[in-house]
Copies of this chain bind each other. A is one copy, B any other.
């Protein structure tokens, strides 16, 4: 079975919003063996939505739309889907009751406009929305079907998981499925990585290999086609083993793994606790660590010491060292990491100090120069980096490198290779 995803919303085509829904849906469909041929995005315009949906229904067996189901006047997905399905919109009492109750629970009166959301095409299969007021539904259009979901990501996801997934499983004959595995690396350039696996690229047809560079590292994606998940896994395991053996230390995780998840697991297993002292990363390392549920088990806290006075008064960095060597220096990074560890009672102290830019750089200490410190009860290491990119990218790359030192420390790998 193949599918297509159509995102609806003028804000998308004006660039005011990034469409993350299509990605998420595509991931879910790939896992179910449903091939996604294309994404489209169109504005809140009846005619253009109709054109996009017609095209999608002609070439794809199943179409999922997101957006345009809100209560306001520019939400027209209901109307267009009804027209294509040749069904009238009818007022659904159960839906209206759900919408009213939704407001009652929140202790608010139900705005009249929200009852527009109780209209759906006659005979459509309902996709209940527990988390919001916009109901979803599925209609037949020729040989194809369209499932309409709201654009609010958490509502859309819950409705896919709760209803649409099972519906699709029933539809989709057990045929070939596509399964991917992504190996995530950091600290190695795309070209160098490519040289290490170029022969695999050329010789492997199933799984295929693709490489993708991000600010934080390079991903290697293996994609297998197989009749069953077991067969796909075995294909991926085979080639995956070879890939792992070529890049033993650079691969930190798989698929949706990120360094904060991986490092969190390692610290939990080892019962080690970490504290952080951030200057140029400005809180990003702490933010990343605390995105992970349960991080309070291993993260004690951090000092974000932007002003020099904070470095000394709050974290105890020697003001003379700052004056002599500068706030961006090996010596300050070292004291920051050590003091964060000692003052918090953590097992490891991590620190960053650098020039995130765009201003504040000099010939000696250019934008992108970052020192990263890692301290344990044996030693305090300091690593020098020169990151490229704008302020946000430099913050990202520095936080990634710091978490990577923490990972390598946990695994007793060399800090660099």
Chain A positions within 8 Å of B, measured between CB atoms, are: 7, 9-20, 22-28, 30, 36-42, 44, 48, 52, 70-74, 103, 108, 111, 113-114, 152, 154, 178, 180, 182, 189-192, 194-195, 198, 201-202, 208-213, 219, 221, 223, 275-276, 278, 281-287, 289-291, 293-296, 299-307, 309-310, 313-314, 343-345, 356-360, 389-393, 395
Instruction: Say yes or no: B194 contacts A72, CB within 8 Å.
Output: yes
Residues in B neighbouring A152, C-beta threshold 8 A: 213
Complex Cα distance, B274 from A366, in Å, reads 27
Partner of A286, one of B23, B108, B282: B282
For A303, the chain B residues whose CB sits under 8 A away are: 301-304, 314
Q: Is the CB of A30 within 8 A of B14?
A: yes
Given contacts A42-B38, A152-B213, whether A392 and B291 have CB atoms under 8 Å apart is yes
Whether the Cβ atoms of B11 and A210 lie closer than 8 Å is yes
Cβ-defined partner of A395 (8 Å) among B154, B191, B212, B291:
B291
A169→B36 CA distance, assembly (Å):
35
Are A10 and B210 in touch, CB under 8 angstroms? yes
B310 touches A283 (CB 8 A): no
Cβ-defined contact, A300 with B309, below 8 A = yes
- Chain B residues with CB below 8 A from A38, complex form: 13, 40-42, 48, 52
- Residue contact B343 to A71, C-beta cutoff 8 Å: no
Q: Are A343 and B359 in contact (CB under 8 A)?
A: no
Q: Is A358 a contact partner of B293 (Cβ separation < 8 A)? A: yes
Contact B191 A71 (CB under 8 A): yes
Given A40-B39, A73-B202, A14 and B180 contact (CB-CB distance below 8 Å): yes
- Name the contact of A304 in the complex, choosing from B9, B20, B286, B358 (C-beta under 8 A): B286
Known: A11-B221, A212-B9. A20 touches B18 (CB 8 A): yes
The smallest C-beta distance from A324 to any residue of chain B, in angstroms, reads 20
Kindly list the 4 A-B residue pairs having the minimum CB-CB distance in the complex, ordered from nearest.
A282-B290, A283-B286, A15-B27, A15-B26
Option from B114, B195, B299 in Cβ contact (under 8 Å) with A111: B195
| Chain B residues whose C-beta falls within 8 Å of the C-beta of A392 in the assembled complex | 291
User: Which chain B residues border A395 with CB–CB below 8 Å?
Assistant: 287, 290-291
On whether the beta carbons of B283 and A201 are closer than 8 Å, the reply is no
Given contacts A39-B41, A301-B304, 5 further A-B contacts (CB under 8 A): A15-B27, A17-B212, A291-B392, A293-B391, A295-B306
Please, which residues of chain B bring their CB within 8 A of the CB of A23? Answer: 12, 15-19
Query: Which of B13, B189, B211, B221 is A36 in contact with, Cβ under 8 Å?
Result: B13
CA of A276 to CA of B303, assembled, Å:
10
Q: Which residues of chain B have C-beta atoms less than 8 A from A70's C-beta?
A: 190, 211, 213
What's the nearest-Cβ distance from chain B to residue A98, in Å? 15
**B301→A307 contact, CB < 8 A:** yes
Within the assembled complex, what's the spacing in Å between the Cα atoms of A284 and B295? 14
Of A44, A48, A190, A357, which is in contact with the most chain B CB atoms at under 10 Å from its CB? A190
Which residues of B lie under 8 Å from residue A18 when comparing CB positions?
18-20, 23
State the CA gap A20–B17 with chains docked (Å).
Answer: 9
Q: Which of A213, A303, A343 has most chain B Cβ within 10 Å?
A: A303
Closest to A24 in B: B15
Residue of B nearest to A111 (CB): B191
Residues of B with C-beta under 8 A to A314: 301, 303, 314, 343-344
Complex-state Cα separation, A359 to B295, whole angstroms: 11
A294 contacts across to B, CB distance below 8 A: 359
B residues near A313, Cβ cutoff 8 Å? 343-344
Q: How far is the CB of A90 from chain B (nearest CB, A)?
A: 23
| Pairwise interchain contact B306-A283, C-beta atoms closer than 8 A | no
Give the complex CA separation of A198 and B307 in angstroms.
47
